[in-house]
């Protein structure tokens, strides 16, 4: 398993400085926000070509909402997602992390024909099938992210994401496992990881406090052991706050903490 860190958490002003500070702190990957990231492909490829820290993933950054009631918003989101999947391929990344919807449903409840959630799922299956084809061409993955109940109503557990992957049936649609969200939604995080198995293609690290690993009570050892059991060897990226006054020291401690828990 390889450690990564989000661009916004890395210490430095320029991309080069951030890459160097991450390498010094013990990280092997960097995760970027997706907003117009396609404009930075040449810059990122040039900076990382001969560097030990490689681009790992794109975290969201698309406009609109794929499951909005307004077709313009849906089309805007889908268009951006296609472009970001291509960008992920251009950067040699694992893929694009996507949350289909935040908050409550935006589609109407058409019961008894279909509830809003049924409509959302039927639409999402079709969208994922389409995105999966782009991901396949790009040699990358669309990574569905389950969130906690306070942020979304739709995909909240790893099994929710797995169900969509299996319904769509495209191997380029995967899920991401986030330790913070799992600490709220999963009854047993290691069991959920084992059950999701090879559907997991990326991991986010944050403690129960949504701070750096080590600043809460998450049982990382058990969760990381479950990842080892399913043969996971990919990136695990920090997506959390850094409460340490010395930000670089905080990142170093977090890397050492996770590696110790991996064993």
Give the model confidence (pLDDT) of 168-213 as tens digits.
999 999 999 999 999 999 999 999 999 999 999 999 999 999 999 9
User: At 144, is the secondary structure helix, strand, or coil?
Assistant: strand
Counting residues of the chain whose pLDDT is more than 70, the rounded percentage is 100
β-pairing, 141-144 with 173-178? Answer: parallel
pLDDT on residue 263: 84
Using CA atoms, how far residue 240 sits from 97, 141, 209, 214, in Å, is 16, 23, 9, 12
Mean pLDDT value across residues 143-169 = 98
pLDDT at 3 over 90: yes
CATH number at residue 39: 3.20.20.150
Rg of the Cα atoms in the chain: 18
| Three-class SS state of 200 | strand
Q: Token pair for residue 234? A: 């990919």
How confident is the model over 25-47, as pLDDT tens digits?
999 999 999 999 999 999 999 99
Is the sign of the CA dihedral 262, 165, 135, 76 positive or negative?
negative
Q: 73 lies in which domain range?
A: 2-262
Average pLDDT of 106-128? Answer: 97
Domains held by the chain: number? 1
């Amino acid at each position: 398993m390889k450690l990564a860190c989000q661009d916004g958490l890395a210490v430095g002003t320029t991309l080069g400085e951030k890459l160097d500070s991450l390498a010094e702190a013990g990280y092997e990957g960097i995760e970027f926000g997706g907003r117009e990231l396609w404009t930075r492909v040449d810059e990122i490829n040039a900076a990382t070509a001969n560097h030990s820290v490689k681009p790992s993933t794109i975290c969201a950054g698309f406009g609109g909402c794929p499951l909005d009631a307004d077709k313009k918003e849906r089309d805007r989101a889908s268009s951006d997602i296609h472009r970001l999947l291509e960008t992920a391929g251009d950067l040699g990344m694992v893929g694009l992390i996507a949350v289909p919807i935040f908050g409550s449903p935006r589609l109407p409840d058409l019961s008894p024909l279909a509830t809003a959630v049924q409509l959302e799922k039927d639409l999402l299956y079709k969208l994922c099938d389409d995105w999966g084809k782009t991901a396949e061409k790009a040699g990358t993955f669309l990574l569905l992210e389950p969130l906690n109940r306070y942020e979304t109503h739709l995909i909240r557990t790893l099994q929710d994401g797995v169900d969509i992957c299996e319904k769509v049936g495209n191997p380029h649609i995967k899920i991401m496992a986030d330790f913070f969200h799992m600490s709220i939604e999963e009854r047993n995080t290691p069991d959920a990881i084992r059950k999701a198995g090879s559907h997991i293609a990326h991991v986010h690290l944050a403690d129960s406090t949504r701070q750096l690993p080590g600043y809460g009570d998450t049982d990382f050892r058990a969760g990381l052991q479950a990842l080892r059991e399913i043969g996971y060897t990919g990136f695990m990226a920090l997506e959390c706050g850094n409460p340490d006054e010395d930000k670089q020291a905080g990142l170093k401690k977090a890397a050492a903490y996770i590696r110790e828990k991996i064993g």
